[in-house]
């Protein structure tokens, strides 16, 4: 059974995003989308680290929400790349879109749990 390590999973996710960005065409459109995807797709990893060092439960939830927001933005850029299409291989895009969706679900659940725990403590 695979050990669940969100930090490692987010690191691998960032690596996958970087690899996709490197394969985008060097055109006006490709460069624009590459920059946006690189920013949003690599952001959840360091923001998760920020959440781990949160100063309060509110700060923790805020940092998780930032990661969630960036994952949702990344999903949109990936769908755009797929729709245009800007890459020849759609298999990698399908895989990264699935991983994005799974990470979104993890962060949504984590936020709900953290909010519930915070309310119980008040």
Q: What confidence tens digit (pLDDT) does each residue in 27-53 have?
A: 999 999 999 999 999 999 999 999 999
CA distances from 104 to 26, 33, 74, 115 (A): 29, 21, 11, 16
- Cα–Cα distance, 64 to 115 (Å, whole number): 11
Q: What confidence tens digit (pLDDT) does each residue in 82-122 have?
A: 999 999 888 899 999 999 999 999 999 999 999 999 888 86
Domains of the chain: 6-121 (1.20.1440.60)
Question: pLDDT value at position 115?
Answer: 96
């Amino acid at each position: 059974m695979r050990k669940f390590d969100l930090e490692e999973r987010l690191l691998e996710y960032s690596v996958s995003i970087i690899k996709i960005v490197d394969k985008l065409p060097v055109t006006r459109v490709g460069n624009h989308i590459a920059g946006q995807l690189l920013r949003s797709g690599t952001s959840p990893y360091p923001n998760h680290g920020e959440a781990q060092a949160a100063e309060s439960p509110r700060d923790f939830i805020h940092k998780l929400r930032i990661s969630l927001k960036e994952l949702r933005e990344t999903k949109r850029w990936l769908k755009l790349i797929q729709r245009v299409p800007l890459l020849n291989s759609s298999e990698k895009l399908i895989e990264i879109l699935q991983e994005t969706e799974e990470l979104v679900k993890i962060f949504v659940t984590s936020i709900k749990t953290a909010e519930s725990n915070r309310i119980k403590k008040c």
